[in-house]
Amino acid sequence: MLSAKSLFQEILDNDESFALFCSIAAGGEAQGGWENARIAALVPASERDLAPKITRHGADEDKHGRIFNALMRKRGLDPVPVPPETDYTMLLERAGIGLAHDRLERDEPLTVRDVVVHLAHSRVTEQRAAEQMELLRRHFADHPDLGRAVRMISRDEDAHLAYCHEELLRLARAGHGRTIRRTLRECALAEIRVYRDVSLSVMAHMGGLLHWPKAKSAALAAGIHAVYAYERLGGRRRMVSLRTPERRNALGGPAESAPEFA
């Protein structure tokens, strides 16, 4: 029987598939760290109070990248090239979601609208990240090698999501509600499409490494398409709603270090 736990256990047990999984994850986290660092440096004067939180977000992402690389080192593995079709962050940028890298590479202050776009993009992608890490935490929180890493990253992703909710609600009260709603919808529609495509590509690569039979690969692909259909029909609403988080000021302090992983 196919299950999320059994599939990930297969990936975990094989060095090649585990190295690919960690390399994809580490690359995405490192990219998120760079983006947040640049945004923090360029926020407009009216939003300077937000800069430390964006910096903290970026530091967390950098830490997660180091953790995934450390997990590979612990197994005596080296990072492997990330196939372009599995690069979630790059594909989102190509879809026009978030702030373009050429914009972030210029030393020009961002606008408040740019900050809104960034936070809306983060709101959608952090929802996905929090859900994925919650799934891993549910099944592998007590794993001797992965457990501590999974718990730490999951806790951080929950904090990132709470921060996005809180800041977007603040900006909505300041008069940006219409822009926020429109941007969240655009980001969610693009994200579910990119997530589907990346999921199909990742599963195809994993299937090749693990020699999955065609029937198994077909069943997994059908499941991915079913998730996309559900999200396209309305399941994405969880990505665009805003609510006051239970945890307030979730990124109000320094990033938690992870010396045992770094």
CATH of the domain at 220: 1.20.1260.10
Residue 253 resides in a domain: no
Asked if 196 and 225 count as a contact pair (C-beta separation under 8 A), the reply is yes
Confidence of residue 83 (pLDDT cuts 50, 70, 90): very high
Residue 133 clears pLDDT 80, i.e. is over it: yes
- Report the share of the chain in percent with pLDDT over 90: 92
pLDDT value, residue 3: 85
Residue 249 resides in a domain: no
Beta carbons within 8 Å of 206's beta carbon, 6+ residues apart: 10, 11, 17, 20, 21, 212
Using one digit for the tens of pLDDT, what is the confidence trace for 43-62?
Answer: 999 999 999 999 999 999 99
Residue 246 resides in a domain: no
Find the helix packing angle between 51-74 and 147-171, rounded to 10°.
Answer: 160
Residue 8 clears pLDDT 60, i.e. is over it: yes
Residue 203 resides in a domain: yes
Domain count, the chain: 1
Segment 8-17 mean pLDDT: 96
pLDDT value, residue 1: 58
Task: Name the residue range of residue 218's domain.
Answer: 4-240
Residue 11 has a CB neighbour count (10 Å cut-off) of 17
Radius of gyration of the CA atoms of the chain, in A = 18
User: Which pair of tokens denotes residue 229?
Assistant: 């259909």
Residue 118 resides in a domain: yes
Query: What is the C-alpha separation between 239 and 195, in angstroms, rounded?
Result: 13
How wide is the angle at C-alpha 37 spanned by C-alphas 90 and 65, nearest 5°? 60
Residue 224 resides in a domain: yes
| pLDDT averaged over every residue in the chain | 94
Residue 196 resides in a domain: yes
Residue 261 resides in a domain: no
Segment 109-130 mean pLDDT: 97
Task: Give CB contacts under 8 A, 24+ apart, made by 38-46.
Answer: 38/104, 38/105, 39/99, 39/104, 39/110, 39/115, 39/118, 42/104, 42/107, 42/108, 42/109, 42/110, 43/109, 43/110, 43/115, 44/109, 44/110, 44/111, 44/112, 44/114, 44/115, 45/109, 46/112
pLDDT value, residue 2: 74
pLDDT value, residue 262: 43
